[in-house]
Amino acid sequence: MRILICDDSGMARKQAARSLPAGFAEEITFAEHGAMAMDVFKQKTIDLLLLDLTMPVMDGFETLAAIREQQIECGVVVISGDIQPQAREKVMALGALDFIQKPIDTEKLHKTLRDYGFIGDAPPAEASGDASAPAAPAPPPIITTPDTETSPLDSLREVSNIAMGDAAAKLAILLKTFIQLPIPNVAWLTPAELEMAMGVFQLGGQTVVSQGFVSRGLAGEAILYADRDGVTGVRKLMAGLKSENETNSAPILDAASVLIGAFLSRFGHEVDLTFSKSQPILLGQNVMGTEFVYNSALDDVLLIEIPYEFSELEFGCDLMILLPKASGDKMLDRVSLLLDEGQS
């Protein structure tokens, strides 16, 4: 059985490969985005594609559409953090066999493979031979594209991707819309880069909501911001849901609570942390005057940035998670442990 695993995260590719039944894959090929996957299809026959949705260059939706357009015969199972109902509906309409939420559920994957006849009721290594005799170990698959080493930042990006999808799904259901999800930007910012990023808010035209959070020696700040169009859109939707006056600040604070709260809840679940959060507050133009940013500007800051795009409603907003140096280092240590456990 020839398997192609297509995901921009090295951590996710390794998890997917480990989740396959023992002895199932004769050959595994890795691709970092849909365009690479389509190149693989030109070179060889692939029996099963495990496909992410949120990727650079060519995302999962585009890849599924291309596979259908080119009439490529290959079973496709989507494995994604984008769990919005519309995302599932789209991939199933494009021909996917199943949709599995990240982090990958091994039992669900095996059930899907059984349901579609890729494997029998017994694991491939035990399907034949004398049942009383010990089964010979299955030969390891041939890896045709050796994968790169996974860094703590890459692992943090994958955890952020899962949390982002959970937050978007909650808001998408609440607002009855679809949210276009990007690839989270995860990076260290120098004090000068942080000052430049915060300086955008001081130019005006942005509405900024801040919410602090703490857990087990970690402290950080979540910042949700939007331009005038985004603020108008969010206010209108949230005010309509709660029958509030859309000219006041309550709808913006409600939206911030949903997006920030849902993100931190799922993010904490993935790294085994529970975050306590302060009340969200609207910031004025003097963002650099906040105590967190002032103190953080003395050292590097770990950034997680996610732009949410409400494509059907033609507006968007951005979420920034900021962790000062000490907290950022502790967070990377935690995701490194997750990576080590996954590779063991």
Please report, for the domain that includes residue 292, its CATH number: 3.40.1550.10
pLDDT tens track, the chain, 344 positions: 999 999 999 989 999 999 999 899 999 999 999 999 999 999 999 999 999 999 999 999 999 999 999 999 999 999 999 999 999 999 999 999 999 999 999 999 999 999 999 987 654 444 444 555 555 666 778 877 766 677 889 999 999 999 999 888 888 887 788 898 889 999 999 988 888 877 767 666 778 899 999 998 899 999 998 888 887 877 777 766 665 555 567 778 888 888 899 999 999 999 999 999 999 988 865 555 455 554 555 789 999 999 888 877 778 889 999 999 999 999 999 998 876 655 54
Domain assignment of residue 130, given as a range: 2-143
- Between the alpha carbon of residue 142 and those of residues 10, 21, 27, the distances in Å are 18, 15, 5
103, 75 contact by CB (below 8 A): no
Looking at the fold, whether 174 and 318 belong to one and the same domain comes out as yes
**Distance in angstroms (rounded) separating the CA atoms of residues 299 and 287:** 17
Q: Which of 216, 162, 198, 222 is nearest to 327 (CA)?
A: 216
Q: Give yes or no: residues 335 and 230 share one domain.
A: yes
Total Cβ atoms within 10 A of residue 148: 11
Question: pTM of the full predicted structure?
Answer: 0.85
Whether residues 194 and 303 fall in one domain: yes
Task: Note whether 123 and 307 are within 8 A (CB).
Answer: no
Residue 243 and residue 294 share a domain: yes
Based on the fold, state whether residues 311 and 177 are members of the same structural domain.
Answer: yes
Q: Are residues 99 and 179 in the same domain?
A: no
User: Which residue type does 88 have?
Assistant: R
Q: Taking the CB of residue 261, how many other CB atoms lie within 10 A of it?
A: 18
Specify the CATH number for the domain of residue 103. Answer: 3.40.50.2300
State whether 184 and 157 are in the same domain: yes
Which tokens hold the place of 183?
């690839």
DSSP for residue 288: G
Q: Which residues contact 79 (CB under 8 A, 6 or more apart)?
A: 7, 12, 16, 50, 51, 52, 100, 101, 102, 104, 109
Q: Do residues 279 and 317 both lie within one domain?
A: yes
CA distance readout (Å), 93 to 66, 169, 195: 13, 19, 45
Residues 253 and 211 in one domain: yes
**What pLDDT is attached to residue 293?**
53
Nearest CA among 141, 159, 188, 100 for reference residue 342 = 159
Domain end: 116, 143, 170, which one?
Answer: 143
Say yes or no: 94 and 212 in one domain: no
Residues 162, 256: Cα–Cα separation, whole Å:
18
The number of distinct structural domains making up the chain is: 2
3-class state of residue 182 by DSSP: coil
Q: Are residues 158 and 99 in the same domain?
A: no
Nearest to 275 by CA among 184, 338, 212: 212
What pLDDT is stored for residue 126 in this prediction? Answer: 45
Domain boundary among 143, 174, 200: 143
Q: Are 274 and 125 in a shared domain?
A: no
Last residue of a domain, one of 100, 122, 143: 143
75-80, strands of its sheet edge to edge:
98-101, 75-80, 48-51, 2-6, 27-31, 142-143
Predicted local distance difference test score (pLDDT) of residue 128: 44
